[in-house]
Amino acid sequence: MKRKTLLLTLVGALVFFSAFKVVDKFFEIQKNLDIFTTLFREVNMYYVDEVNPNTLMKTGIESMLNSLDPYTNYIPEDDIEDYRTMHTGQYGGIGATVSTREGKSTIIMPYDGYPAHEAGLKIGDEIIKIDGIELKDKTNAQVSKLLKGLEVRSYGQVTTHEVTITRETIKIENVPYYGMVSQEVGYLQLTDFTNGASREVREAVEKLKEEGAKKIIIDLRGNPGGLLNEAVNICNLFINRDLEVVSTKGKIAEWNKSYKALNQPLDIDIPIAVLVNGRSASAAEIVSGVIQDYDRGVLIGQRSFGKGLVQTTRPLTYNSQLKVTTAKYYIPSGRCIQAIDYSKRKEDGSVIRNADSLKRAFKTKKSGRTVYDGVGLDPDIMMDAKKYAPITNSLRMKNLIFEYANEFALNHNTIAEAKKFSMSEADYQAFVKWLRTKEYDYTTEVEKTIKMLEEKAKDEKSYSVIEAQLKALKEKASHNKEAELQQFKAEIKELLEAEIVARYYLDKGQTEYNLQQDVEIKQAIEILSNMDKYNKILKGQK
- CA distance from start to end of the chain: 66
Contact 157, 122 (CB under 8 A): no
Is residue 160 within 8 A of residue 128, CB to CB? The reply is yes
* Residues 284, 225 contacting (CB under 8 angstroms): yes
Given 122, 138, 215, 307, the catalytic residue: 307
**Separation CA 118–CA 163 (nearest Å):** 11
Told to judge if 307 belongs to the known catalytic residues of this protein, a careful annotator would answer: yes
CA distance 192 to 514: 19
Give the ranges where 250-295 is alpha helix by DSSP (H): 283-293
Is position 282 annotated as part of the catalytic site? yes
For residue 257, give Cα distances in angstroms to 228, 247, 328.
12, 6, 11
Q: Which of 293, 373, 380, 507 is catalytic?
A: 293
* Cβ neighbours of 407 (radius 10 Å): 16
Q: Which of 247, 282, 304, 333 is catalytic?
A: 282
30 burial class (0-12, 13-18, 19+ CB within 10 angstroms)? exposed
Sequential DSSP letters for 190-210:
---BSTTHHHHHHHHHHHHHH
> Is position 380 annotated as part of the catalytic site?
no
- In angstroms, rounded to a whole number, what is the distance separating the alpha carbons of residues 246 and 331? 5
Q: Quick one: residue 113, left, alpha or beta (phi over 0 = left, psi -120 to 50 = alpha)?
A: left
352: how many CB neighbours lie within 10 A of its CB?
11
Q: Among candidates 68, 90, 79, which has minimal Cα distance to 320? A: 79
Q: Counting beta carbons within 10 angstroms of the beta carbon of residue 128, is it exposed (0 to 12), middle (13 to 18) or buried (19 or more)?
A: middle
With beta carbons less than 8 A apart as the criterion, state whether 193 and 215 touch.
Answer: no
Give the residue numbers marked as catalytic. Answer: 282, 293, 307
